[in-house]
Structure 1
Amino acid sequence: MRAVLLLMIVLWSAGTGAAPLLSICYGAGCVKTAALPLDEAQWRQVAKLFEPYPESAAEERVRIARAIATLERLSGELSGVTHLDRGGNSVGAGQPGQLDCRDESINTTTYLRILKREGLLYHHNVLERRMREHVAGIGAHWTAVLEERESGARFAVDSWFRDNGEEPIIIPLQQWLDFDEEIEPPPIEIEGW
């Protein structure tokens, strides 16, 4: 009976298999939105990043970073505008396709929820976004958040610091909350990657 129940859970959590629709926002503060249909080949680029399933939460975070970069790149190509996004706000300020931290954190959370719904995340749950204040005097800064299932450890997934299609930083949430500068926090090295 347990085996049948486990099989049912695995099949239910494996997702639809069909390519998902990406809903993104941009324009600083999500003033513009777009619904972007991925085709099967595009979705396969993302799904294959998780084959075979990661053995550890740390390995899964590395693959998550690669998947977020891939989804950003695909979103940029499909939208025809967000591919222009540059890391931070100052380089691309006022340019079409520039995303602020609200746009980035909402889009990254959307991507993470798709990965979870499609059964690609085993070691993590997706939480609500988090904000920190007083970042170099510019006010609030937002990030997507993951929680490691086994330990409960929380991680910031922040794509704002990097150009479209580059891997986001993934660091412990408390380190991200304590960091009070508008420069990229130092990465945490993961052995074997």
Structure 2
Amino acid sequence: MKSVAAAALLWAGIVLADERATVCFNYGCVARQEVSFSETRLTELGRRLGLADTPVAERAILSLVVGQLYLWAGEQSPIHADRPGDFLDDGVHGMMDCIDHAETTSGFLRMMEGRRMMRFHAVEPIQRRVRWLVTQHFSAVIRETNGEAPDAGARFVVDTWFGEHGDPAVVLPLEDWLDGEGPNVS
């Protein structure tokens, strides 16, 4: 239905602008680049997310959708060179540490939230975990809403740092992630 509306707007001479987002890379968001996503691509992602009928289903689809956004962003920026963790891509232009991933993923999630693509979740501030007093890790976070009070729902990390560029995001309960859960990329 939305594609029919988009076609009608184009016929009427109204051009739909691409949605812009910022990706950051080269560790600690040292470099930033704006990327854009077409209405056609975003409509497809919205359609996929619209299939979710529960928060669990939405998180599963969201994992895939975030990976897809990274693939499209990698067509326009050097982040396609990113590898899992922090050492497999050491020194490569476009490498991303967890700060880069947390900021970029949060931006993608806010973009989807602004377009009302998520029905069961809201974007939360980035979280940090500290382990053994020397290592830390950052991740984007969503909160299950279910129409309850704003802070009542369970929170989940949406973490793209663990996988290859464009892989589905790892979605874990925040408490598990804070306890060190997640794939091993060492």
- Which of 64, 70, 73 is 2:71 aligned to? 73
Where structure 1 has 5 or more consecutive residues not aligned to the other structure, the ranges are 1-16, 185-193
Q: CA offset at residue 140 of structure 1?
A: 1.2
Equivalent positions of 1:1-193 (< 5 A) are 18-52=17-51, 54-79=52-77, 81-134=78-131, 139-150=135-146, 152-179=153-180, 183=184
* Structure 1 position 175, deviation (Å): 0.2
Q: For residue 47 of structure 2, what is the amino acid of its counterpart?
A: K
Aligned length: 165
TM-score by length of 1: 0.79
1:66-103 residue CA offsets vs partner (Å, 9 max, x unmatched) = 11001000000111x11111011111111111100000
Task: Say which SS state the counterpart of residue 166 (structure 1) adopts.
Answer: coil
Alpha-carbon distance in 2 for matches of 1:39, 1:124 = 23
Structure 2 match to 1:13: none
Residue type at the aligned position of 2:75: E
Q: TM-score, normalised by structure 2?
A: 0.82
* Alpha-carbon contact 1:148-1:154 (below 8 Å) kept: yes
- Percent identity over the alignment is 27
**What is the aligned-residue RMSD (CA, Å)?**
2.0
Shift of 1:43: 2.5
Shift of 1:36: 1.2
Are residues 180 and 64 of structure 1, via their aligned partners in 2, closer, same or farther at CA, if it must alter by over 3 Å? closer
Report if aligned partners of 1:131, 1:141 keep a CA contact under 8 Å in 2: yes
Q: Deviations over 1:27-81 (max 9, x none)?
A: 10001011112223332342232243x11000000111111001000000111x1
Do the aligned partners of 2:29 and 2:100 also contact (CA within 8 Å) in 1?
Answer: yes
